[in-house]
């Protein structure tokens, strides 16, 4: 049985909303394994002098939690 956890993250980009979402996944992937999906909950752009300066997103990331047995198997496979 798999357990899925959902967390909320905020990310930004000076390029686009798409890039902000990609940054959210990229940075989260540095410390979270098994990310399955990303849902964009909210978007906003920061404007200065009549121009968009940055794009921001609030995302919900879902990821499967590792089982303790899976961790033991991975460690054993690395030893072999």
Angle (nearest 5°) at CA 59 between 28 and 11? 60
- pTM value is 0.78
Domains of the chain: 4-79 (3.30.1660.10)
pLDDT of residue 52: 98
pLDDT over threshold 80, residue 1: no
pLDDT the model gives residue 50: 97
Q: Of 28, 27, 36, give the one whose Cα is nearest residue 4.
A: 36
pLDDT for residue 12: 98
23-76, pLDDT tens digit by residue? 999 999 999 999 999 999 999 999 999 999 999 999 999 999 987 665 556 566
């Amino acid at each position: 049985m798999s357990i899925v956890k959902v967390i909320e993250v905020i990310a930004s980009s000076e390029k686009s909303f798409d890039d902000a979402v990609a940054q959210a996944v990229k940075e989260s992937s540095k410390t979270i394994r098994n990310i399955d999906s990303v849902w964009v909950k909210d978007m906003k752009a920061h404007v200065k002098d009549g121009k968009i300066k940055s794009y921001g997103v609030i995302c919900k990331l879902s990821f499967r939690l590792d089982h303790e047995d899976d961790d033991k198997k991975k460690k054993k496979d690395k030893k072999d």
